Amino acid sequence: MHVPDLFFDEQAETRITKRNLPHWQQDGKLYFVTWRQGDSLPSEKREQLQRDRDAWQRLHGAKKLKDLPLTQQKLYYQLFDHRVQQWLDAGSGSCVLKQEGPRRIVVDALHHFNGTRYKLGTFAVAGNHVHVLVAPLPGMSLSKIVHSWKSFTANAINEQLERTGALWKHESYDHLVRNEGALDRICDYILRHAEQGHYVEEHPF
């Protein structure tokens, strides 16, 4: 049984920030977060994504995503988020997380503050990206939690592999989970990574 209070509340205050992507935040809610290696998308895919973002901006201007019709919101996610997930699953780039050492660093980091800073949900560590369901605890922000994960793991992995430079793509993808049906679909998607040989842990809410 899932806890309804964890889901996105259309009536509650929503803080929206934007870099390349919009980031919606509500206190005490559940998020689906993805971050990836900097070399995980080929240059032609990145260029295509930028062209499509520019075209979207020209068409919709400065309108907030939540103010667009539901059909347009779904199209946005299909054009950007869903398509990027498919490209990531293709396994491009150096895929350092296929190695046991770097993969264990990420898994341990996800567990480290579970129960003190956040409640950890189902997650997958693939070759070049990470998917995780997480609910920040009161007083904790999603952005700080994700920054901590990425900063610690990048430094630790670089040290272990004797490499330098940025490991992760600067911006992460995050989505407020809207309802139980959406949560079930996200969990199914994450769990399917095990069929591709990736590391998966199931932690139901």
Break the chain into its structural domains and give their ranges: 4-40+94-201
Res. 21: pLDDT tops 60? no
Read off the pLDDT of residues 65-109 as tens digits, 9 standing for 90 and up: 667 677 777 776 666 666 777 766 666 678 999 999 999 999 999
- 48 pLDDT band, cuts 50/70/90, is confident
- Cα(128)–Cα(107) distance, integer angstroms: 14
Residue 114's pLDDT is: 97
Return the minimum-mean-pLDDT range out of 12-21, 90-99, 111-120, 162-171: 12-21
Contacts of 18 (CB under 8 A, 6+ apart): none
pLDDT top residue among 82 and 32: 32
- Cα(109)–Cα(98) distance, integer angstroms: 16
Which homologous superfamily is 4-40+94-201 in? Transposase IS200-like (3.30.70.1290)
Q: How many CA atoms lie within 13 A of 15 on its CB side?
A: 8
Backbone angles phi, psi at 163, to 5 degrees: -120, 165
In the chain, the N- to C-terminal Cα span, in Å, equals: 7
The most confident of 6-15, 54-63, 68-77, 139-148, by mean pLDDT: 139-148
- 25 pLDDT band, cuts 50/70/90, is confident
Residue 35's pLDDT is: 93
Burial of 102 (0-12, 13-18, 19+ CB in 10 A): buried
Read off the pLDDT of residues 110-128 as tens digits, 9 standing for 90 and up: 999 999 999 999 999 999 9
Q: Which of 53, 7, 59, 50 is nearest to 28 (CA)?
A: 7
Res. 59: pLDDT tops 90? no
DSSP per-residue string spanning 102-148:
HHHHHHHHHHHTBTTTEEEEEEEE-SSEEEEEEEEPTT--HHHHHHH
Q: What is the mean pLDDT of residues 127-152?
A: 95
Tokens of 71: 């059909």
- Cα(45)–Cα(95) distance, integer angstroms: 17
For the stretch 86-91, contacts whose Cβ atoms lie closer than 8 Å and that sit 24 or more positions apart, written own/partner, are 87/41, 87/45, 88/34, 88/36, 88/40, 88/41, 88/126, 88/128, 88/129, 89/126, 89/193, 89/196, 91/126, 91/127, 91/128
Res. 1: pLDDT tops 50? no
